[in-house]
Amino acid sequence: MNTRTCLACLILISIASPFAAADIIVDYTNDVGGNNGEPLNGLAARATFSIDGDGFTILLENTSTGVPVSFDTADSLLVSVGMNLPEGVAILSGDAALIGPGSAGLGSWSERVAGDSVGQQWLWTNDSGGDLMEAYTQILSTSNGQGGGTTTRFDGGSGGVSGPFGGIAADPPILGIPGSKPAVSSSIEFELTLTATLTELELAAVVNTSIVEYGSDQRYLGAPEPASAALLLAGLLLARRRR
């Protein structure tokens, strides 16, 4: 039976064997910069990273309760997540980008419901991002500005995307979404296939160094401070000894 360990750094891990299915939940609360330097004022995000063999799922949520001063509607949208997979591992395919459980489309997507595709507005890449995401190799984004090389839309179609609209608003939205613009309330689930599976420790390292973006370079939030990596490793090892 799996053992679940809750860490002070807000990362939850479901423990199994090194290559079995595993989930990690991270709350992005660490301010790492952007064009808007005002206090976060409740800006926050959450992601659930899941592995099952070479299957890789990310449920990305906008958990904001407020936004920094001077943010407009586009700035308030969660538009990208960046990460670095281990050396030798890459995204093989982006299989789906779906409105998450309990979520719904907004604006021009108001008729869309949980489980509907928004893949025409989201892309993935193994070729790094732009601006503060230049250090990240794997990017999922609703912005053409993220992706230093080849990018692929989740729906497999040709052409680019037109973010920040198409991104994720809080639930309820803090700033109103225009009826002519697309957005999603609360969450989007991304389903991917990797070139190789990850161990739980590798997945933990990916999560602990990941980053999310709001608007067009307006604000970036990271996972908890690097010191939490030691807590994460200790929690994994302790859970295994108790099995």
Instruction: Calculate the alpha carbon distances from 130 to 94, 152, 211, 243 in Å.
Output: 20, 16, 13, 43
Q: What is the pLDDT of residue 20?
A: 53
Q: What is the pLDDT of residues 218-229, one digit of tens each?
A: 999 999 875 444
Phi then psi dihedrals of residue 84, to 5 deg: -125, 105
- DSSP secondary-structure letter at 6? E
Alpha-carbon gap, residue 147 to 172, rounded angstroms: 30
- DSSP secondary-structure letter at 64? -
Q: What is the pLDDT of residues 36-59, one digit of tens each?
A: 999 999 999 999 999 999 999 999
Please compute the mean of the pLDDT values over residues 64-92 and round it to a whole number.
97
Q: Given pLDDT bands bounded at 50, 70 and 90, which one contains residue 150?
A: confident
Q: What residue ranges in the chain does DSSP mark as E strands?
A: 3-6, 12-15, 22-28, 30-31, 45-52, 55-62, 78-83, 91-99, 104-107, 123-125, 138-141, 152-153, 168-169, 182-185, 187-194, 211-214, 219-222
Q: In a 3-state reduction of DSSP, which class is residue 120?
A: helix
Asked whether residue 10 carries a pLDDT value surpassing 90, the answer given is: no
Q: Copy the structure tokens of residue 44.
A: 């926050």
